Structure 1
């Protein structure tokens, strides 16, 4: 369940820097629109449904004083939900941005801007690619995360924007209606500066100024540090455009060299570039001219022959006019040349214009890619080239000296191997070998040579698609001059609308128009040429003068549209030949049908050998040739069936497969094994595959549709059996469906295989399930299976297998949600109650409070509310409602109804309004009337959550009494885990009570021993964190460090990354307290850096910032401390709880006093005092308002001078009398010393002593009123 991005839950704990285990049981939070008032509670209560597994962090190092500890989840951070990260960077001048290589930013003075994290660099790259333009969040999310965005993508983007602003300056990235905009001129970005300089250099060369062109182009090319847009993972199109413009600039720069008479210097670079781009005719022409100008005419002629051969082999064409004219010139006797050629005008070479692919339009060209331009080169093709001497070398790895990927450099060893020039077209490389079909290939070549429309006709699985591609390449190789414009493949399988067929072919040809025109322009265009908007007419016009071979693959489901398109092209485009694959003829005049027959036995055996070795390394046909021959023969030589049989070799031997073909013949048949993405357009393929399955396979496939997120074999056997399918047969049937590509199998982290349906197949199977009338039965079996999984797993989450069961339930979470949803929809209260109560501890361990609330409230609504008046006492129940499967006995049903409402209540911590509502007051009263301390069910989960109601009633003393009863009851009943739980709960409660530390330490020790014996990793981390807090309060920092580090080990073992970050924050605080400030600061900054990239790190972020603020303040770095504090306050704003805002304001007042600022200090002090003296502070942070008195003392002397000295001394006396902490923290000790020094500066010793003594008799209210 996705959490709200703007909800904040905070619990401030007085007296300690809380670590990884304690759950606050007092919440003070605000939701949007909620009243800002405290909610009573007590820190330290580890209430599972409420905050199990939470780690408390401390506020700004104040520990038992001002800061206390703060615990909770900051899910979004006000004002755009920004996550605060790092020290804020003030705007201090313009910034330049580099995206031609690893993304960089630097100030005008050369100071680099730190850009930590790949996502942050990707965001800056996306913005810098379009400076000054507003980019929508959707565009930025797609740029940064591609096809795998995080669950809360909008929140993650806001956090990244916040980080980027802090790195660059707050005005660098503007929020606008359309999204975000980088406030920079294009010239501040190296890519756009490069394009401007390159364009100016080209104009200079065209104006007969090659010297200026060389200077401009050198400056432009020097901006490249590596592959363009290296930090933008999926934007290959823009990167390819930039690389193409780089090549254009390199050509122009070399032309300038030639114009300046530097042919000899240019030749090494030209040779390297031509090797990388053999079909770039303008580049090759430059090389020939350079050889000629260098007096190496013979080499130039030899080079021309090499070029001609490459172009003929790859393109089936002759060199273009420019190269041919240059060749003729080379054959004529050369005129006598001057030693220093005169400066002459030169036309800068543009994108390649010969038969090779043309360069795509770039971002600044202002001209769209022409229809005849080909797509950019594949990503595997090097985008950059060798290094001219006139501009920088390729980027290299500083550790190895090797060229950075994507740039060119010196070959590692041996001579350069010439690249095979690419033909025009879009046929992709095949991933498997092509076996046999020599006769078919020869026949197809002959058909294509004699006819303009050839259709490969045959059933699914016969190999039509593969034969069409291999045959097209074979025909072109045999007749290179027949189709000089290449072979182009148009895949029609993804389409479902006949009208989209022409557009699909245009897209395949790289000629689909993407220029955005206004409706007025389109109207004029249509009026001038009625066929302009007809894609079929555009296609015919495009192909009218081309000689090309067009492959139309999978025509059967769009047979009419495919036939019309083929007929139009054949009529209007005399140079076009069409090769189609289909399950039925196109029925177009002139069509030649070429049936695709099964493979003959020897070829089929070769195919089985090849595919079998790929499926099972070491497989050889020779080991059982008879069985393999039988398989091929009985499968009729169909390539797809043979490949499916080969895949079964992972499970069975060839003889086992052959022996089962009598009963499993259809097991190995399936429809077309297309690798197309899951789309509804696959329905025709699924229909065809469905027709080839037998009834048991269909039954299993239908029933698999009730799963969500896949299943394991056990669940599949439980749900898919019945109705003629024995549970023991399900495994084999699953294997059959996997072979037919109807089911996807993949290993899970637990080592088992999981099975899932592709989306389209799942929808199709669901429809078939409804048609068969089986939905109710299948969903019921699914519900029972996952209810039992959850019920069985619940006690196992509190022992040695805790992590494994967390992972198991995590894998099945979608199925568990689906089961719950169906139980609620069916109003099956017994099943729904059992599921929620079985899942509540899992939700607590993973901090899924919103999910726990949603489900518990929905399930609670299925039955009457047992806490509505009149409420009678609940009976003692030793058996839990989930100890047995439903149906529930009457008493167990009533108890389950009570417990599900306890789960809901403990999940409301972020909803202040709900907690303060009259309905909730009735709920709390009903809970207190039904339960009492020491009951069996109130010792166990989730009954133990009734303590939460006791806290909400405001009776903190009552909580300690009830916990004591629970401890005694657990000992009496022999509840070991429950005893450990309530002991660590009491330990945390006692940590805040004067004189409670000794008992707190004993409770933590006993709790830890039990949890370790039981193998509960979560419990061990909680107990260690609580004991560490006790030791920290005593000033035993060395021991506290040991406990926090040990707790971190347990948290990391459990995979609790957020808890680990909080523990590291607590450890940093202890390091600072014992004098290792620099180490502590480094650790805090590491926590902040790690928290930026982890959603679970949001809890640690505010605590780490506040701890860092106090350390910076104590160490005299006031300006840095202010920046950190303002950033925190800006991020959380008014959405933060009152107590948290009070702490921030008190810290800010202290910083203002340090810097001599005194605006309205008394009024601000009084406002902060109100915020830190609420009910919440009285319960969870009693020393917080007392420590605030020290700030008040400094305010009085700062505002009133000597006149304020008397009352300042009284406040110091009041603080010493009222404070309860044993060992004040570093910042409290400093503030105490400063307050006393300020008072003594205004008074003599005798006066100070009298005022101090008088202050010792004041109450907190009286002392606060002095300011």
Structure 2
């Protein structure tokens, strides 16, 4: 397929047929993917460029839907999902704008006008874009076009006679550049535009960002300009430096015998002239430079001043051009060019990933990139990448003739450090220990912890050492490493990290209190934004062997991590900080120790329990008493949850396995806060679902859902809704069940993990199938698949494939169902629960039965029954029994089929008569209302018994 954007959008297939891509949104998505054809584009970048205005509330979901529609417009397989994004499966040569850009880059690297002409031949008209959000692409292409035209024009001049000297342009007042400028076209245009409208323009950015390069490039294009280098100037020498630079450009007549002051000489020189004066590197003399700039502006209306600095001059009317890191594409191109200069060849294809990682680790800072590229004379790219762990040692040699502050990476930041006040230095080093940055709302608390004023963070932003973005103070990684290195040198690293841990513990406790109610989303956003900070703080507590501090912090992470389903992280942290010998003397310790005991009763899949019933009982009694002494909405859950876990430990096979329940006394219910009571009702509903008590499931799920909705807790609403929808579905109230499920999906969107959200959406698909709305179910299953492909996790993909199989079974298409189930591969995957495997095998068996492959279905069902019984998940056992009934039905064993249906009904607590496969089985057995009672003969155990021998006998 070919995609063309020059002269209008045109898409053609390999056989020359036109491909229509309707709608601006789909066209915008196609353009954004095409710009990086053949590589993955992240979901965030796609959403930002597709929707520059009026972004949807849930960009990720909207993007999944849009990708699905784009796939429908293009040949199959062209848009693929990858972890974290999507990819257009074309080469860069298949897209005219990327082929153009590559040809221009190659022509410039090789000084090849022929390739430049080939590129220009592709420019058949203006670049088509769907909206103004792609202006950056147009500007980049126009810049490339100018380079290509320059190459071809230079070649044309070389091939003809040289023009007369009189017609040659006047020499630039600034010397020629030693190397071509890479990127920065937008910033260069911005500087020129500001100088047309403002008389004082300051280019601001961190050290090594290329401020001087851009200022000189601007001056080079101006007919009358003067560059004043202030870096070597000491305090009191600013006017001397200016006068010296002016004197080199403008010769003044000899006047009185007494020499005029530098200020007077400059005033006389610039009077009546239109001149741009560049004051380069003002940050170390910012006050004097500001006073000088103001004086220069007052000398003549034709004077314009362009300054470069790591902080503003602070003059009224000062205009700014912020110079951040190079964009990734330009940074990679700069690195490649400088590597070629250093070792004679560009990075190889197998070095590309390493080169990209180096550029990213260097924050896109041009000077750091050039220093790293220069090391390729003696080091491989892999060695440079590894060496960046100590970047200041690695990048300690620069060009011999470069200015001192640009010879090493350390000198680059030393230049800024030397200008900081004591408070600013503390704030910089404090910022360095917060890997996620510092939230603006938390800045005052962090500043107080380090005994500085919060205004110091803003001062560091002004000095280009911090960036305030998305309401957070962030650092370039190079600056952060510098701060950490300073702390290590001063022997203060541990002190600063401990202070950070203390303040994070206090902030986390305040946010955690808002996670049980309407503030949950905002609170989780805080925990997400500070995830690396909090993890590092836990690590600091562990390294300091301070379990009490670790427990206090971990207490605030328990519920946010539980909501986010970070079970493994929680298990590891609890194992690190739990101490059964510690005194249960405060609420955090009680909560953490209770979680530790609960986790011991429910070990990770495939791992045995490490606790005996006797030791568990004794520890539970201690924790119950401590929970009553240290009351909170979480400790109120400790007694019933630990009693629940004990019933599981005590249970064995058969009916005993159905005895687990949530045991809460009237006194505990009365004393519990509202949120805790809602949780307990939901847990009772879950226990009722597993025990087949439909009356209790009805009562408890209704109460839990009403309470969570009244509290405004979205997570609890989603949890209770799933249980409520289960009862409504079994009660035959399918429309009500669908409404509750859809509200639940909206409630938990963005809260739970992607697999959990997809599980809830799959519940809605099942209800639609029971309603006979196959087409709607199929559409939703496709949306689930799009979301799973974007997420890429094993659980998400398995959920999507099993949902699709469920649809195909309902449609009676055994081949399609078996094909989809075959896509699920759980082998060797850790943490997959047994009920997942059991449900998968039950679906595989249903598909095989639809195809008449009865013997294979029987083998699969034996495996499914074993996993289902082991899981003690009774709804799953009922689902497998339904498939067992199907096998008996198609093999002519009607009595056994009815027994299997009756057992499924007894285990579940109600007959799922609207399940499409249940309908399929019933039609072949003649089973009706009587299926809930035992068929005549051969029943030796209770129908509700889940004994393995009894159930496996149904397949004999």
Band the TM-score falls in, shorter-chain normalisation: 0.5 to 0.7
Confirm or deny: 8 A CA contact 1:704 1:720 kept in the other structure: no
Please name the residue that 2:798 is paired with: 1102
3-state SS of 1:1035 partner: coil
Confirm or deny: 8 A CA contact 1:122 1:143 kept in the other structure: no
Please name the residue that 2:405 is paired with: none
Cα gap change, 1:1164/1:1015 in structure 2, threshold over 3 Å: closer, same or farther? Answer: closer
The yes-or-no answer on 1:734 pairing with 2:457 is: yes
* Residue range with higher mean Cα deviation, 1076-1085 or 117-126: 117-126
Q: How does 1:764-1163 map to 2 (within 5 A)?
A: 764-860=482-578, 863-864=579-580, 881-882=587-588, 895=590, 898-902=593-597, 905=600, 908-909=603-604, 911-913=605-607, 916-918=608-610, 924=616, 927-928=619-620, 930=622, 936=628, 940=636, 945-946=641-642, 949-950=645-646, 952-955=648-651, 964-966=662-664, 968-994=666-692, 996-1052=693-749, 1059-1094=756-791, 1099=795, 1101-1129=797-825, 1138-1157=834-853, 1162-1163=858-859
Cα gap change, 1:836/1:114 in structure 2, threshold over 3 Å: closer, same or farther? Answer: farther
Whole-angstrom distance in 2 between the partners of 1:716 and 1:902 = 37
Please name the residue that 1:1219 is paired with: 905
Confirm or deny: 8 A CA contact 1:708 1:815 kept in the other structure: yes
Whole-angstrom distance in 2 between the partners of 1:1055 and 1:1122 = 30
Whole-angstrom distance in 2 between the partners of 1:736 and 1:923 = 58
Please name the residue that 1:1245 is paired with: none
Normalised to the residue count of structure 2, the TM-score between the two structures is: 0.62
Whole-angstrom distance in 1 between the partners of 2:817 and 2:144 = 55
Whole-angstrom distance in 1 between the partners of 2:565 and 2:249 = 63
3-state SS of 2:513 partner: helix
Please name the residue that 2:918 is paired with: 1229
The yes-or-no answer on 1:320 pairing with 2:320 is: no
Whole-angstrom distance in 1 between the partners of 2:4 and 2:509 = 56
Q: After superposition, what is the alpha-carbon deviation per residue over 1:781-838, rounded to whole angstroms, capped at 9, x for unaligned?
A: 3222111112222222112322221112222222222221111111111111111112
Whole-angstrom distance in 1 between the partners of 2:492 and 2:486 = 9
Please name the residue that 1:760 is paired with: 478
Cα deviation for residue 972 of structure 1 reads 2.7
Whole-angstrom distance in 2 between the partners of 1:946 and 1:647 = 66
Cα gap change, 1:929/1:1259 in structure 2, threshold over 3 Å: closer, same or farther? Answer: same
Cα deviation for residue 1088 of structure 1 reads 1.3
The yes-or-no answer on 1:468 pairing with 2:216 is: yes
Confirm or deny: 8 A CA contact 2:913 2:919 kept in the other structure: no
Cα deviation for residue 477 of structure 1 reads 12
Cα gap change, 1:1091/1:1210 in structure 2, threshold over 3 Å: closer, same or farther? Answer: closer
Cα deviation for residue 1128 of structure 1 reads 2.6
Confirm or deny: 8 A CA contact 2:558 2:570 kept in the other structure: yes
Whole-angstrom distance in 1 between the partners of 2:902 and 2:310 = 87
Q: How does 1:78-157 map to 2 (within 5 A)?
A: 98=2
3-state SS of 1:639 partner: strand
Cα gap change, 1:322/1:1169 in structure 2, threshold over 3 Å: closer, same or farther? Answer: farther
Q: How does 1:547-566 map to 2 (within 5 A)?
A: none
Whole-angstrom distance in 1 between the partners of 2:496 and 2:914 = 62
Whole-angstrom distance in 2 between the partners of 1:610 and 1:942 = 72
Cα gap change, 1:960/1:692 in structure 2, threshold over 3 Å: closer, same or farther? Answer: same
3-state SS of 1:1086 partner: helix
Cα gap change, 1:687/1:908 in structure 2, threshold over 3 Å: closer, same or farther? Answer: farther
Cα deviation for residue 841 of structure 1 reads 0.3
Whole-angstrom distance in 1 between the partners of 2:829 and 2:18 = 32
Cα gap change, 1:1120/1:113 in structure 2, threshold over 3 Å: closer, same or farther? Answer: farther
3-state SS of 1:991 partner: helix
From 635, 644, 648, the equivalent of 2:312 is: 644
Please name the residue that 2:336 is paired with: none
Confirm or deny: 8 A CA contact 1:790 1:809 kept in the other structure: yes
The yes-or-no answer on 1:1254 pairing with 2:937 is: yes
Cα gap change, 1:276/1:774 in structure 2, threshold over 3 Å: closer, same or farther? Answer: closer
The structure with the greater share of residues assigned to helix is 2
Please name the residue that 2:135 is paired with: none
Q: How does 1:131-210 map to 2 (within 5 A)?
A: none
Cα deviation for residue 986 of structure 1 reads 0.4
Whole-angstrom distance in 2 between the partners of 1:126 and 1:1254 = 71
Q: After superposition, what is the alpha-carbon deviation per residue over 1:1216-1243, rounded to whole angstroms, capped at 9, x for unaligned?
A: 3663233324333234235427x99xxx
Please name the residue that 1:1192 is paired with: 887
Cα deviation for residue 844 of structure 1 reads 0.9
Please name the residue that 1:365 is paired with: none
Q: After superposition, what is the alpha-carbon deviation per residue over 1:1187-1243, rounded to whole angstroms, capped at 9, x for unaligned?
A: 2432331453xxxxxxxx4x4434334533663233324333234235427x99xxx
Whole-angstrom distance in 1 between the partners of 2:615 and 2:32 = 48
Whole-angstrom distance in 2 between the partners of 1:1139 and 1:714 = 44
Whole-angstrom distance in 1 between the partners of 2:209 and 2:14 = 62
Whole-angstrom distance in 2 between the partners of 1:1069 and 1:969 = 40
From 417, 429, 434, the equivalent of 1:707 is: 434
Cα gap change, 1:675/1:1122 in structure 2, threshold over 3 Å: closer, same or farther? Answer: same
Whole-angstrom distance in 2 between the partners of 1:240 and 1:638 = 30
Q: How does 1:487-506 map to 2 (within 5 A)?
A: none
Gaps of 5+ in 1: 1-96, 130-139, 149-159, 174-181, 193-223, 255-273, 282-309, 325-373, 382-426, 437-458, 479-550, 557-582, 585-591, 612-624, 652-672, 749-753, 867-873, 883-892, 1197-1204, 1241-1247
Please name the residue that 1:286 is paired with: none
Cα deviation for residue 275 of structure 1 reads 15
Cα gap change, 1:765/1:850 in structure 2, threshold over 3 Å: closer, same or farther? Answer: same
Cα deviation for residue 1165 of structure 1 reads 4.6
3-state SS of 1:981 partner: helix
Cα gap change, 1:1257/1:1236 in structure 2, threshold over 3 Å: closer, same or farther? Answer: farther
Whole-angstrom distance in 2 between the partners of 1:1175 and 1:864 = 30
The yes-or-no answer on 1:743 pairing with 2:466 is: yes
Confirm or deny: 8 A CA contact 2:651 2:660 kept in the other structure: no
Q: After superposition, what is the alpha-carbon deviation per residue over 1:1064-1117, rounded to whole angstroms, capped at 9, x for unaligned?
A: 32222211111211111111111211332246x865543343233233223233
Confirm or deny: 8 A CA contact 1:1017 1:1050 kept in the other structure: yes
Please name the residue that 1:448 is paired with: none
Whole-angstrom distance in 2 between the partners of 1:963 and 1:321 = 94
Cα gap change, 1:1000/1:246 in structure 2, threshold over 3 Å: closer, same or farther? Answer: farther
3-state SS of 2:760 partner: helix
The yes-or-no answer on 1:1176 pairing with 2:871 is: yes
Cα gap change, 1:229/1:979 in structure 2, threshold over 3 Å: closer, same or farther? Answer: farther
3-state SS of 1:1127 partner: coil
Whole-angstrom distance in 2 between the partners of 1:747 and 1:939 = 36
Whole-angstrom distance in 1 between the partners of 2:862 and 2:837 = 13
Confirm or deny: 8 A CA contact 2:838 2:876 kept in the other structure: no
Cα gap change, 1:840/1:247 in structure 2, threshold over 3 Å: closer, same or farther? Answer: same
Cα gap change, 1:278/1:1056 in structure 2, threshold over 3 Å: closer, same or farther? Answer: closer
Whole-angstrom distance in 2 between the partners of 1:601 and 1:907 = 83
Aligned length: 739
Please name the residue that 2:425 is paired with: 698
Whole-angstrom distance in 2 between the partners of 1:252 and 1:932 = 77
Whole-angstrom distance in 1 between the partners of 2:857 and 2:31 = 44
Whole-angstrom distance in 1 between the partners of 2:33 and 2:291 = 63
Confirm or deny: 8 A CA contact 2:905 2:912 kept in the other structure: no
Whole-angstrom distance in 2 between the partners of 1:239 and 1:463 = 27
Cα deviation for residue 982 of structure 1 reads 0.7
Please name the residue that 1:686 is paired with: 413
Cα gap change, 1:1013/1:898 in structure 2, threshold over 3 Å: closer, same or farther? Answer: same
